[in-house]
Structure 1
Amino acid sequence: MGTVEETLKCPVCQDFFTDPVSLSCGHDFCLTCIQAVWETEGSDEVPFFCPECQIFLPSDVTLEINTNLQTKAHALLHQQRSALREHTVVEVTGDPLSLKCQEHRDELKLFCMEEMVPVCCLCVLVGMHKNHKVFQLHEACVDFKTSAADFKERISDKYSRIRVVLDGDERLMMQIIDAEEMYMTEWLEAQRGHMEAQIKEIDSLRASRKSLLQEEIELRFLQQIKAQNLWNPLDLTPIQEVDKDLCDLEKLTTVERLVDDLSVALSQHFPRMWSHLSSPALDSKSAHPKLEISQDRKQVYWRTQPVSEALSPQPYDSQYSVLAQESFTTGRHYWEVIVQEKPYWLVGVTTGPVDKRDALSQSSSSLGVHNTSWCIYHGYGQYLACHDTQEKQLSVGKRVRKLGILANLQKGELSFYNADTMTLLHSFCVQCTEPIYPMLNPCIDASGLNTQPLTMFWIKDHWDWHINTEGAKE
């Protein structure tokens, strides 16, 4: 076995592989090299063979590019040749044109900070991004990552401040209650002591009067009356009844009312719409054959194979859709779909066919634009709210990169939002007794410009507002 460098060189030209192909015998050659050998070594009737081991190959042999070997050879080529060391090496992509400017066909090396898009050098020098502020791609990545970290830190700090305020308010209210309890207890103890002294005095007088009434000698009885000044009626301080108002826990009820006011003020902002966030999985059985579903069932693509001429040339066709596995009949449900820079897309909900397996046999109007379907369609900056045969053009200030859908089935409302700004785009009145399914339509790929997927937004370790609040109440 030779060195790594030797294994990445063609046995014919002795240079690094260019479009390497692997023969059934296991040997590799440049595509042009093996084709040149077969053309020079014999006619078309002569069987194909391997120049290395001389094994004859089938007459219907197919030559397919070995992308893994090509990547290794290309990377080593950039390492060894000084003229190529400054080149940018990226991962192999199925669409190399996506790495180049659509207008100038030059490599996208810069990032326009004003338009927030990757650009080439010519875009900045003579194109639409002339005089715009631009960064190198890696600088832009670092800047965005730093900004994201700063946002995260600032938001965390704001929540920390809120917790400090809430904790401080709780401590204050608890201190007020403790102080009120202490002073109320002291006052009640003082009242009790005063009453006990009065009762003791009365009991003493009662005992002495009882003893006097038992005196049988008249002279001594009269002498005791004079000594104790009993000629006049007794003037005893009456026992005061405790005023109920003085025992009223008014301050404690005031504290409770203030805490209730705080709870009401907070509840106006809770639960947030994101508290209802879900990420329904896509049902590949309901997808049109021209659509491809990712393995995690969160993305839908337009397939990369050429589109048949029999298909409609229009980017929007409601037939090219996929439904979610989950349907909704009651409650509040919210999900988001990442659309990013796609020029065409259609997102909404539908009752779907009765049997999802029959979805593909239905007419195009069966998914998306019938009387139990509600959608938002985007086509190169234009937004339409679609229901049945009606279309309404929407005025959207900022381009939507994530679309949010809130289904409030108790109220019969279906609302679409710019999920980044939580700006309402449009609301439908939904009167439907059948289960509704989230629906995604990536639209056909027009000249390689609409290859991006539609992606269901998903977060890890979702905090369930209902479960946690119910637990807190208990």
Structure 2
Amino acid sequence: MGTVEETLKCPVCQDFFTDPVTLPCGHDFCLTCIQAVWETDESDKGPVFCPECQVFLPSDLTLEINTSLQTKVKDFTTNRTSTAEPRTTTSSNATKSSSTIHCDHCIDTPSVAIRTCLTCDASLCQAHALLHQQRSALREHTVVEVTGDLLSLKCREHRDELKFFCMEERVPVCCLCVLIGIHKNHKVSQLHEACTDFKKSAADFRERVSDKYSRIRVVLDGDERLMMQIIDAEETYMTEWLEARRGIMEAQIKEIDNLSSPALDSNSAHPKLEICQDKKQVFWRQQPVSEALSAQPYDSQYSVLTQESFTTGRHYWEVIVQEKPYWLIGVTTGSVNKKTGQSPSSLGVNSTSWCIYHGDGQYLACHDTQEKQLVQSLSTPC
């Protein structure tokens, strides 16, 4: 039972842990105890060390409560209290009195100590702490924040003040450690000088880091501005290009709209064919052919010509053929005149005309009596 109890007590105050924290070296302490040992001051942090093993620790070490150890302490003290009920008040008073440190010089009227002199091994009240500051003989003494465990601030081996800092092993040491101890012949400096050097090094490092990131931010800001300028220029260029393309397309659409499709010449149509009023469509005549039309000399082929002819340029037509298994469409470079004996049906059989012929489900390209079958890759509406 005694062994378990000792593992639940702080090495500094020798009482059960209160808000225990675990250092990187593995030793546990009360949060307030380790802060008192390190003389924690948010405005002036120096090197810190473990009071148990004297290992030097980072000055920016973050202390976190060991909840597991805190639970073990709570469970142990609860069980001990339940088994020793009558001693609860006494134990509580003893704990309370042990947490209060009194001045070692105030014998008749105990006063609460506010500082501890490591040289005198004594705790001092406000009056005696002021006396240490005023007397020249005591002015060189090492006075720290009040602590109940002086040994935690002294060398464990020689019980002397830790006035030096070993630069090789980076731990605080006493005079005897340097003269005859394990740190003999090691490079050392005074502890307060080491603290000053570490603070200066930290400040220099912080300044270098700040300067480096400042330069990085300047470069990033410049890159950001450059990229935004490039994006703006690209956006302007693309907008202008699209506007230009839209203008060209609108002009082409307007030009196409202004172009009139070739109209059919009703005078050249076979009597069996009927031309619509828009002269864009031709149908098989449903009404009987009049005698006047029948008397006119027409070619035996059922054909019709267009009114317009073209001398230059590129031209495009879409022709829809409905319910007509046989049809022919073509162009010619010469004039077509039925009075001269040349008929529309002669397209593709001479050197001045070309045509596409459809019949029996096949497509033929005809020119100068030569025929070539066309491969039909897609179905047609005819």
TM-score by length of 1: 0.29
| Larger RCO (CA under 8 A, 6+ residues apart) | 1
Q: Which has the larger radius of gyration?
A: 2
TM-score by length of 2: 0.35
